[in-house]
Amino acid sequence: MSTDYAAVLTYRYPGTLWSLDGDDYKGLDWQDEETAKPTKAQLDKQWPEVQAQIALEQRNAAMRAAYAQYSDPVFFQWQRGEKTEAEWRAAVAAVQAQFAE
């Protein structure tokens, strides 16, 4: 997969001024006067780390959504005396198992 230059610039150069015409480095218009324009090689080298960061953020968001959908309701049922603590812990463990690496 080719480098997503917009993602690399967004994650690694926050607050800088730039625009990208298309998906290729040639379309990068660097407008920031305080930060030197990164080279294509620099951005390409950073892409795997940015991909990993994006994947981790997506995993964490999916895990939070799963907790909210599956284990949080059981927690509140436990608090009301409708479920046991063991049932809540089992629901939490099920979510954790779903996202175990």
Ramachandran assignment for 22, one of left (phi > 0), alpha (psi -120 to 50 degrees), beta (any other): left
- At 69 the pLDDT is 97
pLDDT one digit per residue (tens) for the chain, 101 residues: 699 999 999 999 999 999 999 999 999 999 999 999 999 999 999 999 999 999 999 999 999 999 999 999 999 999 999 999 999 999 999 999 999 86
- At 38 the pLDDT is 98
- Could you tell me the residue range of the domain that residue 82 belongs to? 5-98
- What is the number of structural domains in the chain? 1
pTM, two decimals, is 0.81
Are the beta carbons of 78 and 85 closer than 8 angstroms? Answer: yes
- At 89 the pLDDT is 98
Burial class (CB in 10 A: 0-12, 13-18, 19+), 20: middle
